[in-house]
Amino acid sequence: MTPAAIIVLATLVMQGTLQPARPPLLAGPKVTPDVVVGSEPVFRVVPRRRPAQFGPYRWQRLLRVIDLDSRQRSEIERIAGEFGRAMKAFRNTHGKRLKTLARREREARDDPDKQFSADEQHELRELRAKRPKAVESLQRIWTLLDHEQRQQMRTLLTEARRDAPRTSG
């Protein structure tokens, strides 16, 4: 290759009009024009996907498929009713504040200019801890089922989880 050809090729490469066929083996990340040297890179956290969770009401729908005796059915309705009343009372007492704090937390996470104080984080954590737990109701319902009904319920839950959209968070 002549010296003139090398100069022309080098000029084209430096101008960016001629790109190598593939990146060099030890090439680092591509730097875009909006990256400022010396600044911290900003990363958006992609929420991890988790399997869909099913509470007492979803369980009630699945339990309709299973052959339950009248005692089991009435006890399950009673347990679900207790949970529903507890959730309603919790929402009436703390619902607005919980929604406000959750919204502010989400906004602060999405917009770095907005602040979510440590006191607000603590209050939100406490409110979430006070919320009635579906797990307790589901455990009580589970104990009402015999072995065959539990097997049927496992199958139904597996199918429902497979078909349900995954949630984030």
Q: Compute CA distances 39 → 28, 112, 116, whole Å.
A: 17, 15, 24
**Torsional class of 100: left (φ above 0), alpha (ψ -120 to 50), beta (otherwise):** alpha
Write out the two tokens for 44.
């958006």
In the numeric block, the tokens 């591509």 are attached to 30
Q: Record the pTM.
A: 0.59
Return the pLDDT at 135.
87
* Alpha-helical segments (H) within 19-169: 56-63, 70-110, 118-130, 134-144, 147-163
Two structure tokens written together for 4: 């003139």
State the pairing for strand pair 49-50/167-168: antiparallel
Residue 50 phi, psi (nearest 5): -130, 155
Contact 56, 80 (CB under 8 A): yes
pLDDT tens track, the chain, 169 positions: 666 666 665 665 555 555 555 555 666 655 555 545 555 555 444 455 555 566 666 777 888 888 999 999 999 889 989 999 999 999 999 999 999 999 988 888 888 788 888 898 899 999 999 999 888 888 998 999 999 999 998 998 888 878 766 554 4
- For residue 164, what are the CA distances in angstroms to 36, 38, 46, 65, 141? 43, 45, 20, 18, 22
The Cα 5–Cα 10 span in angstroms is 9
How many whole angstroms separate alpha carbon 166 and alpha carbon 159? 13
